[in-house]
Chain A
C-alpha cells in the first residue's frame, strides 16, 4: 500500500468514533443515524468506510434481488441472522429488558437450596447427555458461569467469590462449589470420551463449549479432594438436620463415584468398571427419595447467560428436563455403563459381535456417552478390547466361520523366512488381507454403535465396501491355491465343473449378507416401510435369508470335506472344527428361522391386501409407479454383484394375490385366493416358529452369546411371541375369509399395526387381526 493512501486511511480511522465500550452498550444503536454508527476497533489499520459505495450499489438492485457468488449456499443462508429481530438476535433487548439478571451469586444458601440446586444441575447435565447444547442446559447456571469465567488458571481460582476469598458461608463455598466443580469435571470426561469416538454432532451430542473450558487442565484427583472436604464439612454440621445432611452427603458421594467411574484412562477402571458403575447406581434410589427435601432456586439459572457465550446461534430457550426423567436417564446410564464392561470378556469374535449388537439394540438405546464408551472399550491401546490384535480377531473369526485348523491361519507361517517356501507366501498374503479388511471389519462394529438411524445408513455405505472386499478376496483365494494345494470339488453334473472353496471371499460374502439383512430389518425397526410395502419387504428379507442359507451350506460342504480328508487332526484341530460346525449350525438355524417367518408375514400381508384392512394408500398413485418405487427400495443394493437384486417382476409375482394360486373351492375368487395364500402363510409360520424354538435351545457357547445370554434369549423369545401373534392373525384371517360368503371381508375382520414400540420385536411388524364379533 502506498504511503499516502495509508495516511489518509489512518486519518479516516481517527475520525471514526471508536468504541472501546462493551457490547452491552450497543442496544439503542438503532436510534442513531446509520452513518454515524459505532465501530469496535482493536487495531484500526485496515478499516474503510464503504457505506456510501454500498448504498450507491444497493440502490440499483430490486427488492428481493439476490446478489451472491456460487459459493453462497443454502447453508450460509440459514446461518444468517437478522440483527434486531428478537427471535434471532441474542443481543436484542426489549424495552425495559436488562442485559443480565440481578442474581446474587454469593447469597448464603440454605441446605434445602443446596439440595434443590444440585438436583437442578443434575437435570441440566442429563439434558446435555440427551443431546441438548450446554448453552441451553448447564451453562444457564450462574454458579457454573462464575466458576468457569474468566477462565481460572488454577483450580483455586474457580470460586464463586472471584475477587477475594470470602470466609464463612460454607454451604456455598465448600459444599456447593465442590459439587459444581466435580460436575464440570465429569462433563469434561464425557466431552473427551465422546470427542474421541465416532458420533454425529447435533444428532447425538452437541460438543460446543462456547469458548469455555471444562476444567480440563486440572486433575480429577484435585477435584476429588474438594469433594472429600465437602463431605467432611457437611458431616460436621451438627446443627444441620440429619435428613438434610444425608441428602447432601449422598449427592456429593454420587458425584465422587461418577467422577471415578468416568475416568478417561480405561486401564485404571477396566478391572472394576462394572462395580464402579453399580456403586453409582446404588445411590440413585436415595437420591430419588430425598429429592423432595430440596427447594429449587429458579433465579440461579437464566438464558441470558447465552449472551456471554461465544456462539452464533439465536437465543434459545432453556431445556427443562423433569427430575424423574433425568433420574431415569441416569439410572439407565449407570446400568448400561456397568453392563458394557462385560464386553471385555472375550469369547471369540462372533460372540463379540453378538454382544455389541445385543447391547445396542436395547430399548432405549444406550446414551451417546455409553455408545462411545463401548467404542473405546472395543478398541483402545491399538488393540481390540485393549488386548487382542486385529490379526488375532480376524483369524479367530475366519477359523470360526470358514477355516478351522487351516494352514492359512497357522501362526507358524510367520516364522518361515525362506521366500520360496509356500508358507512364507501364505503369511505375506494373509497379512496383506488382514491389513485390507481390518478397517471394514471394525466398521461393522462401529456402525452398530451408532444411533439406529445412522446405523442403517452407515451399513448402506459399508455394504458397498464389503462388495469390494469380497471381489478382492475372490482373487486372493484363487492365488492362494497354488500355495495351499487345494483340490477342487467336482460338480456331479455331466460337465464336471470344478468348485473351489473360496474361503476368504466366502467369509466376506457372509458379512455382506448379514449387513444386507440388517439394512432391511432396521428398515422395519425405524418405520421406513409403509403398510403396502410390508409384503414385498418381508419377501425380500426371506430372499436374503435364503441366500444366506445356501451360502452357509456351501461353507459347510467344504469344511466337512476338509475335516474328512485323511489326516490326523490334533485335539486342538478337532476343537477348532467342532467350534466351526456348531457356529454354522446356529447360523443356519437362525437364517432358516428368519426365512420362514419372513415368508409367513409376506404371505399374510399379500393375502389381506385386497381387503385393505390396514390403512393404506390407494392402488394408483399420481406420480409414481410400482416399478419406480421398487427401484427406490432396491437402491442400496443395486451395486452389489450377488445376491442378485430381485427384479420388479419377480417381486411383483411373489407378492401378487393371483399368480400360482388355485382358489379354494366354495369361496368367491378373491377370498378363495386369499385362503390359499393364507394356507401357505400358516405353514410357513409354523415352520418358522419351530425354527425359532430350535434356535432358543442352543447353549450360550454355541449361540455365541456367553456374556450377553439374557439379552439374546429375550430377543429370541420376543420373536417367538411375534410368531405366535402372526399365527393367530393368520387363523382369524382364514376364518374371516371362509365365513365371509359374499359379505365383504372388511366387515368380518379388523386389523391394526401395533403402535410404535409396542410390537414384540422391532424387526417383526406383525399386525393384530381381531375377528370382528359383531358380524
Chain B
C-alpha cells in the first residue's frame, strides 16, 4: 500500500527478517536507554509477525514500525498489546504512527480481539495524544515504571460489545500483580 507521500506500509513476515530486523532494532533502540535483546524482537515477530507493520519510503528506508501481539489475557479476554512503536525523528507529526497503529488494530479486530492495551510514559505527549484520539482511555498509572524512574499510563481500548459478560471484576482481566506486559526499558 502506498500513500500520497510515496510511503509504503507493509505487513511484516518472518521471511523478511534479514531484510528488516536490523533496521527495526535500530529505529526502536534510538529512543531507549537500554536496548532489548534480539530475543525480545523475535518473541514478537516470530509469533505475531502479521501484527507488525512497517512504513518505508520510496527507497525502502524504514521510517516507522509498530510491533504487537494478541493472545488471551489471563485466561480471559482476547487482548491485543502494542509493544513498540517508533517513527524516525524527521518524519514525526505526519500521521505515520497513527496509520501504523490503525493497521495493527485492524488486524487485531479481524482476529477477534476484545480489548487492546499498551503502556506509555506519562510525559510522552505525542504518543498519548495519538492513542487518545483513537479512543483509548487511561486505565491506571504505573509508578516508576521505566528505568529512568518515570511513571507510565496503561491505556486500554475495548473494541467489542460483550463488555458486561467477559469483563466482570477487576482482577481477572487487568494484568495487575503481574509482570508488566513488556518489561519496560526506555
A interface residue numbers (CB < 8 A to B) = 62-66, 74-78, 80-82, 85, 87-88, 130-132, 200, 202-204, 314, 316, 451-454, 456-457, 460-461, 464, 526-530, 533, 617-618, 621-624, 627-629, 631-633, 635-636, 638-639
Contact = CB atoms under 8 A, between A and B. Distances in A.
17 contacts: A63-B18, A75-B183, A203-B143, A203-B145, A204-B143, A451-B144, A452-B143, A461-B170, A461-B176, A621-B135, A623-B134, A624-B134, A627-B161, A628-B158, A628-B161, A632-B158, A635-B169
Contacts of A85: 35
A639 B169 contact: yes
Interface in B170-186: 170-171, 173-174, 176, 179, 181-183
A466 to B, nearest CB: 13
Contact of B34 (A75, A132, A316, A632): A316
Interface string B111-151: 00000000000100000000011111111111111010101
Most buried by A among B140, B147, B171: B140
Interface in B75-109: 102, 105, 109
**Majority-rule SS of A interface residues:** loop
Contacts of B1: none
Contacts of B143: 200, 203-204, 451-454
A82 B37 contact: yes
Given A78-B183, A88-B35, A453-B151, A635 B167 contact: yes
Given A82-B37, A452-B143, A64 B45 contact: yes
Contacts of A629: 135, 137, 158
Given A464-B170, A530-B137, A204 B43 contact: no
A87 B34 contact: yes
A127 to B, nearest CB: 10
Interface string B38-75: 11101101110000000000000000000000000000
Nearest to B20: A64
Given A74-B182, A77-B39, A461-B170, A314 B17 contact: no
Contacts of A527: 122, 138, 141, 153
Given A75-B179, A617-B132, A528 B140 contact: yes
Contacts of B47: 66
Contacts of B46: 64-66
Given A87-B35, A638-B164, A638-B168, A621 B144 contact: no
A493 to B, nearest CB: 33
Contacts of A74: 40, 43, 181-183
Contacts of A623: 105, 109, 134-135, 157, 159
Nearest to A76: B39
A631 B144 contact: no
A618 B133 contact: yes
B39 to A, nearest CB: 4
Contacts of B8: none
A204 B145 CA distance: 10
B140 A81 contact: no
Contact of A528 (B109, B138, B171): B138
B36 A78 contact: yes
Nearest to B43: A77
Interface in B5-40: 14-15, 17-18, 21, 34-40
A460 B140 CA distance: 11
A633 B137 contact: yes
Nearest to A630: B163
A77 B179 contact: no
A94 B182 CA distance: 30
A461 B35 contact: no
A64 B21 contact: yes
B173 to A, nearest CB: 7
A131 B138 CA distance: 25
B62 to A, nearest CB: 16
Most buried by B among A64, A66, A622: A64
Nearest to A528: B138
Contacts of B160: 628
B134 A621 contact: yes
Contacts of B102: 622
Nearest to A85: B35
A80 B168 CA distance: 36
Contacts of A533: 137
Contacts of B164: 631, 638
Contacts of B169: 464, 635, 638-639
A204 B149 CA distance: 10
Contacts of A453: 140-143, 151
B160 to A, nearest CB: 8
A295 B137 CA distance: 50
B135 A64 contact: no
B149 to A, nearest CB: 7
List 5 tightest A-B contacts by C-beta distance, closest first: A624-B135, A64-B17, A621-B135, A631-B163, A66-B46
A82 B35 CA distance: 10
Nearest to A618: B133
A631 to B, nearest CB: 4
Given A130-B149, A622-B135, 11 more contacts: A64-B46, A77-B39, A77-B42, A316-B147, A452-B141, A453-B142, A464-B170, A528-B141, A623-B157, A624-B159, A633-B137
B43 A66 contact: yes
Contacts of B36: 78
A253 B133 CA distance: 57
A238 B156 CA distance: 68
A739 B56 CA distance: 52
Most buried by A among B157, B167, B169: B169
B134 A636 contact: no
A513 to B, nearest CB: 17
A85 B37 CA distance: 9
Contacts of B145: 203
A577 B76 CA distance: 49
Most buried by A among B47, B141, B160: B141
Contacts of A454: 143
A263 B171 CA distance: 38
